Chain A
Amino acid sequence: NAGVTQTPKFQVLKTGQSMTLQCAQDMNHEYMSWYRQDPGMGLRLIHYSVGAGITDQGEVPNGYNVSRSTTEDFPLRLLSAAPSQTSVYFCASNSRAYSGTSGTDTQYFGPGTRLTVL
């Protein structure tokens, strides 16, 4: 299994440009999430999905759109990039399956996309 993959690894945009960050997982996980991490900060949730066709907002959704047409893919779209969106973006997935009350729902993270908006 490749796990969670993200493309591109690095991207530079100009203010106002649009782009899509790609995320894919091959573990058949129902849940997928997008986080951003600013320098010296913890991760903040942007959007998440509990299954194909179902998405919801996290802490910092403004300026980002998502869709989930398949179980495997969860792209993040920036419609009009702003310098405030300069960050490292991480995609994660986890399975809804768990063993009784064990709470076993480990999130697996991708390697990240480093985005700079000029």
Chain B
Amino acid sequence: DAKTTQPTSMDCAEGRAANLPCNHSTISGNEYVYWYRQIHSQGPQYIIHGLKNNETNEMASLIITEDRKSSTLILPHATLRDTAVYYCIVRAAPNAGGTSYGKLTFGQGTILTVHP
């Protein structure tokens, strides 16, 4: 699975949009970009994933550049409860087969702190 690079920490004011960047310059054509977050002491929580098109769900939006070498997770109206470590993970699609299925490779992630 491709390696990702994220800033160590970011701050955001409550109510503003939080934009979390991720570089994945070695991503392969069959690899997806996944975002998980981990609120203090809890298990990681899935946020969103995408292949090449921008994606949006009830939690966030994911913007992937045309060359797929980087992406941005957007929390449109950050709240104090969004304070967490955010992990950007690149992995092969489930139908790619092989032993990568089911495994997530976590890096250090970005510590997002939302301020009142």
Binding site for B on A (CB under 8 A): 4, 31-33, 35, 41-45, 48, 50, 56, 58, 88, 90, 92, 94, 96, 98, 101, 103-112
A contacts with B: majority SS: strand
CA distance A43 to B106 in the complex (A): 6
| Size band of the interface chain B makes with A | 20 to 34
Are the C-beta atoms of A50 and B106 separated by less than 8 Å?
no
Please count the residue pairs between chain A and chain B whose beta carbons lie under 8 angstroms apart in the complex.
Answer: 68
CA distance A33 to B99 in the complex (A): 13
CA distance A105 to B34 in the complex (A): 10
Chain A residues positioned under 8 Å from B49 (CB to CB): 103-104, 106
Cβ-closest chain A residue relative to B109? A42
Cβ-closest chain B residue relative to A109? B43
**Closest-CB distance, B4 to chain A (whole angstroms):** 11
Are the C-beta atoms of A112 and B102 separated by less than 8 Å?
no
Chain B residues positioned under 8 Å from A50 (CB to CB): 101-102
CA distance A101 to B16 in the complex (A): 33
Chain A residues positioned under 8 Å from B41 (CB to CB): 88, 112
The residue that B108 contacts in the complex, of A42, A48, A101, A110, with Cβ under 8 A, is A42
Chain A residues positioned under 8 Å from B104 (CB to CB): 33, 43, 45, 92, 107
